[in-house]
């Protein structure tokens, strides 16, 4: 049932009924109480606010007289149908905080959205997930606070999975569960503390990580990339002791750091007594070449902080990621973060744990690898067929997105707009560059996971028509 809880001041010179009237009027004008909403009855609101019935009645009468609400005999008071264009909001001291625009739904004419971050939800095992979630609700202690580091059984499953699939060698005690990679990076910044405030980052690189470092007062040191990923020689010049890097699938350009460079990177960390923050965000999906183990697994000296997420291989909305800390840092976490509670729901963690333990996770991964491999092939075939040499594809070995370099003199904005006009959404890469894009031709980012094979083909065909 709809309720309102205004702050009314009985000591104020404005009578209470006017204060209540103004509050409701404000809420209606700002559309926080939408048209057609039934207001609480006079008796209930008076009891809820500990006011006299006459006070509430007087406020409602005033609103009704001004046409903001209307009385339906035998039913109560309802917010009237107002022409909101004519209302001036905010008024009467209403809240003037700038609320960022909510993500707008795609315009109707967009039929093919190559959004990186969308995944294939048609193949999510909803029935299995639902069965396990129901089962979890009957577990003992499920409704209490969980372990601050994350549920131990889930950490055990993640440790096993990381060892088998990524060569990561860790105990469950080294793992911290979090609500996404950015939240874990933020926690990591707190753990690292205030002494070291320089961090080397890939340029171009993941803007989401950069933003977190900046908010924690870190000074970013931009390091270029080449066909082998992060340029180690530039890193050595940078005097940084920390580096954030995506070695298994450089974001956004997609190169894989060869083993020789990985070894050099580890040697660098050892030499400068530093740490490598390895973001392994989508390594589950690799289409060519042998698996390359995570840096963490080949590091004998505890120099790597490993980050992974369930956003790509399971669901982005699940908001579960994990961080593997070397011993020195997990000790710091244990010493200083005893009072921090775990942000990820225990119910969700237990569900995920059973999903992994009962074999559904591996089954889902096998299925999705196959599905994404096919989508990837379809994408490349369609590009070859419809665009030929007009484009150059970058980062084709793994992951759920590719970079398309368009060999035209159009700007990135212009290409995006032309695509949009034709009903296709593609995404800029310029925001991943720190000091402006340094490529000859515009490069666009296309995520293909959320589209069907048929839609990938149609989308590429339409793009080609719109651009060439």
Closest approach, Cβ 165 to ligand PLP, in A, equals 17
Closest approach, Cβ 279 to ligand PLP, in A, equals 5
Closest approach, Cβ 310 to ligand PLP, in A, equals 7
Closest approach, Cβ 29 to ligand PLP, in A, equals 37
Q: Which is nearer to ligand PLP, 20 or 177 (CB)?
A: 177
Residue 337 near residue 148, CB atoms below 8 Å: yes
Closest approach, Cβ 8 to ligand PLP, in A, equals 42
Residue 191 near residue 337, CB atoms below 8 Å: yes
> Any contact of residue 281 with ligand PLP (CB under 6 A)?
yes
Q: Contacting ligand PLP (CB under 6 A), which of 63, 321, 368, 378?
A: 321
23-31, 85-93, 179-187, 214-222 -> range binding ligand PLP (CB under 6 A):
179-187
C-alpha distances (whole Å) from 420 to each of 110, 114, 414, 424, 430 are: 7, 11, 10, 5, 18
Order across the sheet with 304-309: list the strands: 175-178, 321-324, 304-309, 275-279, 242-245, 198-203, 219-226, 229-230
Compute the distance between CA of residue 21 and CA of residue 45 in angstroms, rounded to an integer.
Answer: 13
48-56, 61-69, 174-182, 293-301 -> range binding ligand PLP (CB under 6 A):
174-182
Compute the distance between CA of residue 36 and CA of residue 81 in angstroms, rounded to an integer.
Answer: 7
> Any contact of residue 428 with ligand PLP (CB under 6 A)?
no
Own/partner pairs, 207-216, CB within 8 angstroms, 24+ separation: 207/431, 207/432, 208/181, 208/182, 209/181, 209/182, 209/185, 209/244, 209/279, 210/434, 211/182, 212/182, 212/185, 212/186, 213/185, 213/189, 213/244, 215/186, 216/186, 216/189, 216/190
Q: Which is nearer to ligand PLP, 20 or 305 (CB)?
A: 305
Q: Contacting ligand PLP (CB under 6 A), which of 149, 283, 296, 311?
A: 311
> Any contact of residue 150 with ligand PLP (CB under 6 A)?
no
Closest approach, Cβ 368 to ligand PLP, in A, equals 16
Q: Which is nearer to ligand PLP, 206 or 427 (CB)?
A: 206
String marking each residue 23-62 x if it binds ligand PLP according to CB under 6 A = ----------------------------------------
How many residues contact ligand PLP, by CB under 6 A? 14
Under rule CB under 6 A, which residues in 181-200 are in contact with ligand PLP? 181-182
> Any contact of residue 306 with ligand PLP (CB under 6 A)?
no
Closest approach, Cβ 350 to ligand PLP, in A, equals 19
Residue 265 near residue 238, CB atoms below 8 Å: no
13-21, 76-84, 176-184, 360-368 -> range binding ligand PLP (CB under 6 A):
176-184
Q: Which is nearer to ligand PLP, 19 or 182 (CB)?
A: 182
92-100, 129-137, 178-186, 459-467 -> range binding ligand PLP (CB under 6 A):
178-186
| ∠ Cα 393 394 400 (to 5°) | 100
Q: Which is nearer to ligand PLP, 180 or 423 (CB)?
A: 180
Chain centre distance of CA 241: 27
Compute the distance between CA of residue 421 and CA of residue 259 in angstroms, rounded to an integer.
Answer: 44
Question: How does strand 304-309 pair with strand 321-324?
Answer: antiparallel
Q: Which is nearer to ligand PLP, 321 or 449 (CB)?
A: 321
Output the six-digit token pair for 193. 């503390």
Q: What's the full length of the chain, in residues?
A: 468
Which residue from 350, 272, 347, 356 is spatially nearest to 314, judged by alpha carbons? 356
Closest approach, Cβ 257 to ligand PLP, in A, equals 14
Closest approach, Cβ 281 to ligand PLP, in A, equals 4
Residue 174 near residue 315, CB atoms below 8 Å: no
| ∠ Cα 200 204 210 (to 5°) | 50
Under rule CB under 6 A, which residues in 111-140 are in contact with ligand PLP? 117
> Any contact of residue 251 with ligand PLP (CB under 6 A)?
yes
Q: What is the dihedral of CA 366, 400, 460, 442, to 10 degrees?
A: -160
35-43, 143-151, 309-317, 360-368 -> range binding ligand PLP (CB under 6 A):
309-317
String marking each residue 322-341 x if it binds ligand PLP according to CB under 6 A = --------------------
| ∠ Cα 136 142 145 (to 5°) | 145
Preceding amide of 204 cis, omega within 30? yes
> Any contact of residue 152 with ligand PLP (CB under 6 A)?
no
Closest approach, Cβ 170 to ligand PLP, in A, equals 18
β-pair partners for 397: none
Q: Which residues of the chain form contacts with ligand PLP (CB under 6 A)?
A: 117, 180-182, 206, 208, 246, 251, 279, 281, 309, 311, 316, 321
């Amino acid at each position: 049932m709809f309720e309102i809880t205004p702050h009314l001041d009985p000591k104020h010179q404005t009578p209470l009924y006017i204060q209540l009237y103004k509050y409701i009027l404000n809420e209606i004008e700002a559309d926080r109480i939408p048209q057609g909403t039934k207001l609480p009855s006079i008796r209930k609101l008076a009891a809820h606010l500990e006011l006299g019935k006459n006070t509430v009645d007087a406020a409602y009468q005033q609103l009704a007289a001004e046409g903001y609400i209307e009385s339906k005999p035998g039913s109560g008071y309802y917010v009237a149908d107002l022409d909101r264009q004519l209302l001036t909001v905010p008024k009467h001291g209403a809240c003037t905080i700038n609320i960022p625009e909510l993500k707008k739904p795609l315009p109707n004419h967009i039929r093919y959205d190559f959004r990186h971050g969308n995944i294939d939800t048609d193949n999510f095992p909803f029935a299995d997930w639902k069965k396990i979630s129901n089962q979890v609700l009957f577990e003992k202690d499920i409704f209490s606070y969980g372990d601050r580091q994350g549920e131990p059984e889930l950490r055990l499953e993640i440790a096993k999975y990381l060892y088998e699939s990524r060569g990561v060698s860790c105990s469950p005690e080294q793992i911290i569960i979090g609500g996404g990679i950015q939240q874990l990076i933020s926690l990591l910044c707190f753990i690292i503390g205030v002494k070291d405030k320089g961090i080397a980052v890939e340029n171009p690189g993941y803007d989401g990580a950069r933003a977190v470092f900046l908010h924690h007062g870190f000074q970013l040191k931009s390091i270029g990339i080449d066909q082998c990923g992060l340029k180690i020689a530039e890193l050595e010049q940078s005097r940084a002791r920390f580096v954030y890097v995506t070695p298994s699938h450089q974001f956004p350009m997609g190169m894989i750091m060869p083993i020789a460079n990985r070894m050099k990177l580890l040697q660098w960390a050892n030499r400068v007594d530093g740490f490598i923050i390895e973001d392994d965000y989508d390594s589950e999906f690799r289409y060519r070449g042998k698996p390359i183990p995570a840096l963490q697994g080949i590091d004998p000296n505890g120099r790597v902080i490993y980050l992974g997420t369930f956003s790509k291989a399971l669901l982005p909305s699940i908001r579960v990621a994990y961080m593997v800390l070397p011993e020195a840092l997990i000790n710091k976490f244990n010493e200083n973060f005893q009072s921090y509670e775990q942000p990820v729901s225990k119910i969700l963690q237990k569900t995920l744990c059973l999903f992994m333990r009962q074999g559904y996770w591996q089954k889902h991964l096998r299925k999705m690898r196959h599905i994404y491999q096919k989508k990837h092939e379809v994408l490349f075939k369609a590009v070859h067929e419809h665009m030929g040499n007009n484009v150059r594809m970058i980062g084709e070995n793994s992951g759920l997105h590719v970079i398309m370099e368009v060999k035209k003199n159009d700007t990135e904005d212009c290409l995006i707009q032309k695509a949009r006009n034709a009903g296709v959404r593609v995404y800029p890469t310029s925001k991943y560059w720190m000091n402006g894009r340094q490529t000859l031709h515009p490069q666009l980012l296309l995520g293909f996971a959320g589209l069907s094979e048929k839609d990938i083909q149609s989308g590429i065909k339409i793009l080609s028509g719109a651009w060439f």
